[in-house]
Amino acid sequence: MFNCKPSVLSLALAAAGVGFALSSDIALAADGINTEKTQVANAVENETNVDNAAANTSSNNITAEDDIEVIRVTGYSRSLIDSLNSKRYGDTVSEQLSADDLGALPDVSMADALTRLPGISAVRTGGQAAEINIRGMSGGFVFSTLNGREQVSTSGSRSIEFDQYPSELISSAAVYKSPKASLIEGGVAGTVELTTVSPLSKDKQHNFTANVRGMYNDRADEVYGAEEFGSRLSFSYQGKFLEDTLGVAVGYARLEQPSVATQFIGLAYNDSKDVDGIDGDINGPEDNPANEYISEGFEVQHLGGVETRNGYMAAIEWAPVDNFVLKADAFMSRFDSESFARGFRTKFGGSSASVSNPTYDGNSVVGGTFNRTSKSFTRVEIVNDDNQDFDEVDSFGINADWQVTERLNMIVDVSLSAAKSDFRNGLLWSNVAVDANADAPIFDENVSISYLLNGLDLPDVGFNQADAFSDIDRVMVSKYGIYPFENEDEVKAYRVDFTYELDNDFISSVEFGARYSDRTYSNDRSVFEYGNDGAFSKSEPPLKLTEDMTAVVDWEGDFSYFPSYLAIDLDKALNAWFPDGTPDPVQTWGNAAGVIDPQGYTTNYSWSVLQSGDVYEEVLSGYVMANIDTEIGGLPITGNFGVRVVNTDQSATMLQNVEADPTLGAQNITDEIGIINQNYAPTVQGVDYTDYLPSINLNFKVTDGSQVRFAAAKVMSRPPINRLAGDISASVSDDGEINGSSTNNPFLMPFYANQYDLSYEYYFDEGAIVAAVFYKDIDSFIDTIAIENFDFKGNGFNVPDYIIDEDSGEQIETTNGTYTTAVNNAEGGYIRGLELAYTQVFASLPAGWSGLGFNASYSYTESEVQSITNLGGDTATQDLPGLSNNVVSATLFYSYEGFETRISGRYRDEFVSEQVAINEQVVNFDGETVIDYQASYQVTDGLGVLFQVNNLTDEPTKSYFGTENKTGTIQYFGREYYLGFTYAM
């Protein structure tokens, strides 16, 4: 601190609550820090919207006649201070991002922006952050709101895909790590609250901002057919009219970016074979301990395509009188992705393949030569996949804020959040023929595949058919499949909240209210298949390729040693194969058991019907909360305590196989094309439950610059909504064993946790230091478990006592086998950790250095919760999905006379998440460090130019199955370069 008369640096810091006065009436667009003489009134007039009481208290001893020096902070420095102010005066343990913070960093989405906060990390998909993890817990435990309203997702679960939200259209964000009774329940990990602009709250009468940026991916030239260039465009306007009683805001943001990746994908170890031939070997699977685990195979792919996101925001705010504000707002996002995946896929061929020269990791084969036999399906497929994903997110709301009396305030809110996702997975497989020009081409069964995994590096591979992969005289298209996955999610909500101010030395006010929501989720599957991927079909023969529909593709860079392959023009191939047009996918039984007339289908497609269904969820909640503002022994204490009561009524549609027994409810169920199945009984089943969620938040102001927070609460997260959709089945094998499954379960209960937070926050003239510890005691998690010797008949399944052997005609008594289902495992555990954060803007340095600053955070998280995985063959333990023991984020920044630059890094060590490109397969991910760089220059007060590099070191994503020797995914995305302009007026 300066040893001079009260400077504006110290006075303004006191006024703002941290260390800087931000003069709104003469803000300079990007001057890092400026000084000039002015009246003290300007020192406390800032745009941080800090609690007025804090500003007034801090300036009691300052007279308007004193001429003092004003320190004004703009750009990135200002955004940090705004964020610290919001954190300091918040009533819960939280992290904040200010509007300037989001506007200053050109984050592709809110997922990128949120990862700069302590204890928060992201899972990268295609190089872009999408799902966020909070305090070592995955996105399914994160509850999200927009303008205080529950948001649904296009993910098909409750996990919000934050890449749907353009950072340009969000004015602020908060992550609540400790709840309070007035917050909507649902986040065991935390609650993310996004906010769009409130036009009447802006100081300026009119605000207009435009942003144009071009982008380039430096790995796109390695991928045949990939786009190298993309663009970002956004603009926003906020204006006030009718003597500041009417506010209007509109915004638009468009992102068009190339989707580029080159990847190796190891497939799970889902089969076994006695490879080593050692007598007495008992380390293998339970059903055959002498066997070794073998992988399904691997894939090597080029990924390319374009992602296009259009975001729209609008708000209108009306304040006809001083005590009433009516606001309507809307947010819409359209995220379309059209991409391809090309390369080849190997299938080792299962237990019937011939294996030589094996290499082992434990009891799992990680190298060797696999040769096709007459009984195996060993092969190499040339892959030309076509994926389309069309996502829609809509959020609409009307909010009325009425100050009924001087003490009583009432807020009424009505909202709708809706999401739609239409993902179409199109797969075009080709196989090698002996001679593609023959009148009746023959599948080449002379297949030999050699490989050796190298852990987190690319493997060694060899193929006896390598030359054929790029030869149109050998390669033929053998199968085409389309597998749409469509889901819709919608929640309607109605909410009323009251606040009553008290004249009390302990309780400053009481808040109470109620909320009702009605949520509907639907999932629809369908299918179209033609041909055969394991051989050549006689009834649906393979397609002969021509030169005009193919191109030979070579691998480059790290992948350059892999054999070339044929890229196939999908439209030309399909037009040749289906001259009358490609048939549309349908939801059908096919020739499933119970079908009366399969109408020519020879394949069981009952999964497309059984995996489709609806989920219904009605929630009625109420709360009461007291806000604390008192002193005990001269120690100021603020905070709140209260309880939230929540009643949930959840149910789902189900089809139960009752073997056509009408007494058990069997009905004729017709699919989309008229095929009737008589085996199933449709039902709607579910559960109703009530929860009581108490919470307390206390903030002890130890000194003017330091405070201690304590929070405790019971929290809940409902199960993934897609896991509530029921699907029950049971079948009897030829030897009489009954096996069944219900991978989902409408009776699943929420995750519950008791959590505790303790933090120390120290604010000084130029920044802050924060240290926090937390502990969560979680009751249970959802597991998909296999229950051996399950009593099917005793649990209501309609199963026979015996079956008739088709060959001998004898009766075979049925026996109970395995039932696989989703359950709350009642085996929870703790999650605990610490978080450290440090921010400093060195404003007191000499002029040339006064724009230097640094902020960093570190979190350590550990948990006793572990799960068992056998994806790598040998049974291994896995940590809780989303948990990295160590997460570090840091930014070094500098500004001077209109120039600003910063470099940011984010590191997270090993964690568990879903494998890239493989749905619902949870694997271990290696640690990663992602570095971004940005520089900008303010040419005039309104015009600025910006340059940025994302993923500066081209950091890949790498994963593995249990041990690093069993490679999962190795994926490279490339660096992204941005160059653009901003204009504000």
643-680 pLDDT, tens digit each: 999 999 999 998 888 778 888 789 999 999 999 999 98
- What is the reported pLDDT for 586? 96
Alpha-carbon distance of 318 to 398, in angstroms, equals 11
Residue 108, pLDDT score: 67
pLDDT of residue 48: 36
The H or E element containing residue 44 is none
Mean predicted lDDT score pLDDT of the chain: 86
- Strand-pairing partners, residue 337, are 307, 389
- AA identity, residue 830: Y
pLDDT of residue 20: 34
- 776 confidence band (pLDDT: 50, 70, 90): very high
Mean pLDDT value of segment 35-52: 34
- Residue 58 scores a pLDDT above 90: no
Q: Is the Cβ–Cβ distance between 129 and 116 less than 8 Å?
A: no
Strand bridging mode 967-972 / 120-125: unpaired
Q: Which residue has the higher pLDDT, 299 or 83?
A: 299
pLDDT at position 50 over 80: no
Confidence at residue 127, expressed as pLDDT on a 0 to 100 scale: 67
Query: 511 or 115: whose pLDDT is higher?
Result: 511
Residue whose C-alpha is closest to residue 929's, from 955, 949, 950: 955
Task: Examine the pLDDT at 30 and tell me if it is beyond 70.
Answer: no
pLDDT at 2: 30
Sign of CA dihedral 802, 806, 809, 810: negative
| Residue spans of alpha helices (H) in 109-231 | 110-114
Q: Is the pLDDT of residue 67 over 70?
A: no
So what's the pLDDT on residue 789? 86
The kind and range of the H/E element at 609 are: helix 607-610
Out of 81-90, 258-267, 368-377, 974-983, least confident range: 81-90
Contact partners, residue 186, CB within 8 Å, separation at least 6: 143, 150, 158, 716, 717, 718
Residue 14 reports pLDDT greater than 90: no
Q: How confident is the model at residue 59 (pLDDT cuts 50, 70, 90)?
A: very low
Confidence at residue 61, expressed as pLDDT on a 0 to 100 scale = 37
- What's the confidence (pLDDT) of residue 251? 93
Summarised one tens digit per residue, pLDDT across range 578-621 is: 999 999 999 999 999 899 999 999 899 998 998 899 999 999 99
Asked if the model's pLDDT at residue 422 lies above 60, the reply is yes
What is residue 84's predicted lDDT score, i.e. its pLDDT?
83
Residue 26 has pLDDT above 70, yes or no: no
- For the ranges 18-27, 103-112, 650-659, the lowest mean pLDDT is seen at 18-27
**C-alpha span between 157 and 141 (Å, rounded):** 11
Q: What is the pLDDT at residue 87?
A: 86
Which of residues 765 and 500 earns the better pLDDT score?
500
> Residue 787: left (phi > 0), alpha (psi -120 to 50), or beta?
beta
103 or 977, which is more confident?
A: 977
Rounded CA separation 293/283 (Å) = 10
Structural contact between residues 738 and 799, judged by C-beta atoms closer than 8 angstroms = yes
What letter would DSSP give residue 182? T
- Residue written as tokens 């060959």? 807
Greater pLDDT, 767 or 399: 399
pLDDT of residue 342: 96
Give tens-digit pLDDT for 689-729.
Answer: 999 999 999 999 999 999 999 999 999 999 989 888 866 76
In the chain, what percentage of residues exceed pLDDT 70?
A: 89
DSSP assignments along 515-556, one per residue:
EEEEEEEEEEE-BEEEE-SSS--SSSPPEEP-GGGEEEE---
867 pLDDT above the threshold of 90: no
Residues with Cβ within 8 Å of 565's Cβ and at least 6 positions away in sequence, in order, are 342, 343, 344, 382, 469, 470, 552, 553
pLDDT score recorded for residue 658 = 79
Higher pLDDT, 435 or 86: 435
Which positions ≥6 away from 891 have C-beta within 8 Å? Answer: 116, 854, 855, 856, 902, 903, 904, 905
HEC sequence for 115-143:
CCCCCEEEEEECCEEEEEEECCECHHHEE
pLDDT tier for residue 163 given thresholds of 50, 70 and 90: confident
Q: Residue 941 CA to chain centroid, in angstroms?
A: 38
Tokens of 347: 């299938």
Contact 432, 465 (CB under 8 A): yes
Contact 466, 563 (CB under 8 A): yes
pLDDT attached to residue 785: 76
Annotate 438-474 with three-state secondary structure: CCCCCECCCCEEEEEEECCEEEEEEECCHHHHHCCCC
Residue 939 is inside which H or E element, if any?
none
Residue 358 pLDDT greater than 80, yes or no: yes
Q: Which of 53-62, 440-449, 486-495 has the lowest mean pLDDT?
A: 53-62
Q: Which of 44-48, 149-153, 715-719, 856-860 has the lowest mean pLDDT?
A: 44-48
Taking residues 80-108, report their average pLDDT: 73
CA-to-CA distance for 733 and 729, rounded, in angstroms?
13
Using pLDDT thresholds of 50, 70 and 90, give the confidence band for residue 475.
very high
Q: What are phi and psi of 41, to 5 degrees?
A: -55, -35
For the segment 677-699, what is each residue's pLDDT rounded down to a tens digit? 999 889 888 899 999 999 999 99
What is the mean predicted confidence (pLDDT) over 512-532?
96
Q: Which helix (H) or strand (E) holds 137?
A: none
Which of 69-73, 517-521, 729-733 has the highest average model confidence (pLDDT)? 517-521
Q: State yes or no: pLDDT of 482 exceeds 90.
A: yes
Q: How many helices (H) and strands (E) does the chain have?
A: 8, 56
Structure tokens at 740: 């069944």
Q: What is the secondary structure of 752-785 as a DSSP string?
A: EEEEEEEEEEEEETTEEEEEEEEEEEE---EEEE
Please report which confidence band the pLDDT of residue 919 belongs to, taking 50, 70 and 90 as the band edges: low
Q: What is the pLDDT of residue 38?
A: 33
Counting Cβ atoms within 10 Å, is residue 25 exposed (0-12), middle (13-18) or buried (19+)?
Answer: exposed
Residue 163 amino acid letter? D
Nearest CA-CA partner of 754 in 779, 773, 719: 779
Contact between residue 477 and residue 568 where contact means Cβ atoms under 8 Å apart: yes
Query: What pLDDT is stored for residue 503 in this prediction?
Result: 92
Per-residue pLDDT, averaged over 177-181, amounts to 94
pLDDT band at 191 (very low <50, low <70, confident <90, very high): very high
Q: How confident is the model at residue 797 (pLDDT cuts 50, 70, 90)?
A: low
Contact 40, 64 (CB under 8 A): yes
What is the pLDDT, as a whole number, of residue 68?
Answer: 37
Q: Which residues pair with 869 in a beta bridge?
A: 876
Q: Determine which helix (DSSP H) or strand (DSSP E) holds 11, and give its type and residue range.
A: helix 8-16
- pTM for this model (two decimals): 0.86
* CA dist., res. 891 & res. 858, Å (int): 12
Cβ neighbour number for residue 792 with a 10 Å cutoff: 18
- The H or E element containing residue 235 is strand 229-241
Residue 962 has pLDDT above 50, yes or no: yes
Query: What are the φ and ψ backbone dihedral angles of 78, each rounded to 5 degrees?
Result: -60, -45
**Gyration radius of the chain over CA positions:** 31
Sign of CA dihedral 134, 139, 144, 146: positive
Please give the pLDDT value at position 55. Answer: 35
Predicted pLDDT of residue 65: 37
pLDDT at 847: 84
Least confident of 109-123, 195-209, 462-476: 109-123
Q: Which residue has the tokens 């008589």?
A: 678
- Strand positions, DSSP E, 140-189: 142-146, 149-150, 172-176
Give yes or no for residue 795 having a pLDDT over 90: no
Measured CA to CA, the distance from residue 979 to residue 938 in angstroms comes to: 14
Residues 877-900 pLDDT 10s: 888 888 999 999 999 999 999 999
Q: How confident is the model at residue 78 (pLDDT cuts 50, 70, 90)?
A: confident
